[in-house]
Structure 1
């Protein structure tokens, strides 16, 4: 089976949903940032610091091309991955792209809660973060809108919601759940 690429803004649930769908279907889960970090033995933050954004985006594109040749995988892309080079065209030609669409309220709540883990937004106050999200989504929607399909990802707040949302995703994409997860 061709790869499934999860795209969307940070906090939309790409890793949470991807991990659970992979567990329920037997697909391999790849977080593109983690894949890069393992390959380069450095964190994304360190790569940005040493090579700049241009250097990171070049690495990201090369790793995206590599993972696009894998079979039976679900790939959680970084929020900016679709916005550079011809990355959306690569993903759309090699697999299925799914834009995880979370409401502004959900994104804001999730990112406020976990902002200390994200250097880009760590020091932001609530209203500042809300404005940041709105502006970022506005600039990224032309890329996100090229996805093969849109999937609503608001309901990922607890184990029950994650399970139900993963089941809905599996059904919507015509995937097969493992016997133990039916």
Structure 2
């Protein structure tokens, strides 16, 4: 059975849904950012700050090509991963891809609740954040929409709905 890759903007719910999906399918879950952090013994924001975005994206690409070769996993990618190099085409060739689609309002709400440091969002007030997310989403959507499946996660307003999204994904992907 093909591996499943979840893509979408930061804080769309890729990790929480990915973990639940992997558990429900009896598969191993990998978060690409966590994989990078484990391999290089540094947090992604540290790597980003020390090396810059270009070098980080190159490293991310190399690690993606490593992890995507694993069999029968659920993989969660960083929000920008599908938008660089040949990453989206590569993922589509090896895995079942699923875009977790959300509105800028939903994403901003999730970002406000998240605990992680987000280098691209540092120092932005709520209005600047919404503008930034809206603009980035417009640039990234053409890459995201290349996914085999698109799942609307705007309904993901509570942890109870994670299982609902997992069921939607399973029903779309599995016969």
Q: Same fold (TM over 0.5)?
A: yes
Partner of 1:47: 47
| Distance of 1:162 and 1:141 partners within structure 2 | 23
Relative to structure 1, the CA distance from residue 45 to residue 18 in structure 2 (aligned partners, 3 Å threshold; closer, same or farther) is same
Q: Secondary structure at the match of 2:157?
A: coil
| Distance of 1:157 and 1:122 partners within structure 2 | 24
Between stretches 11-20 and 43-52, larger displacement belongs to 43-52
TM-score between both structures, scaled by the size of structure 2:
0.93
Between stretches 17-26 and 122-131, larger displacement belongs to 122-131
Q: Secondary structure at the match of 1:117?
A: coil
Alignment of 1:1-182 (within 5 A): 1-114=1-114, 117-174=117-174
Q: Secondary structure at the match of 1:60?
A: helix
For residues 82-131 of structure 1, what are the alpha-carbon distances to aligned partners after superposition, in whole Å with 9 as ceiling and x for unaligned?
11111111101111111110122211211123376323324222211111
Q: CA RMSD in A?
A: 1.6
Native 8 Å contact 2:30 2:73 kept in 1:
yes
Relative to structure 1, the CA distance from residue 121 to residue 50 in structure 2 (aligned partners, 3 Å threshold; closer, same or farther) is closer
Native 8 Å contact 1:17 1:162 kept in 2:
yes
| Distance of 1:27 and 1:154 partners within structure 2 | 26
| Distance of 1:102 and 1:22 partners within structure 2 | 21
For residues 137-164 of structure 1, what are the alpha-carbon distances to aligned partners after superposition, in whole Å with 9 as ceiling and x for unaligned?
1111121121111111123332321112
For residues 52-86 of structure 1, what are the alpha-carbon distances to aligned partners after superposition, in whole Å with 9 as ceiling and x for unaligned?
22221111111111111111111100000011111
Q: Secondary structure at the match of 1:75?
A: strand
Q: How many equivalent pairs are there?
A: 175
Unaligned residue ranges in structure 2 (runs of 5+) = none
Native 8 Å contact 2:45 2:117 kept in 1:
no
Partner of 1:180: none
TM-score between both structures, scaled by the size of structure 1:
0.89
Structure 1 residue ranges (4+ consecutive) displaced by more than 6 angstroms after TM superposition? none
For residues 35-56 of structure 1, what are the alpha-carbon distances to aligned partners after superposition, in whole Å with 9 as ceiling and x for unaligned?
0000111111121223222221
Unaligned residue ranges in structure 1 (runs of 5+) = 176-182
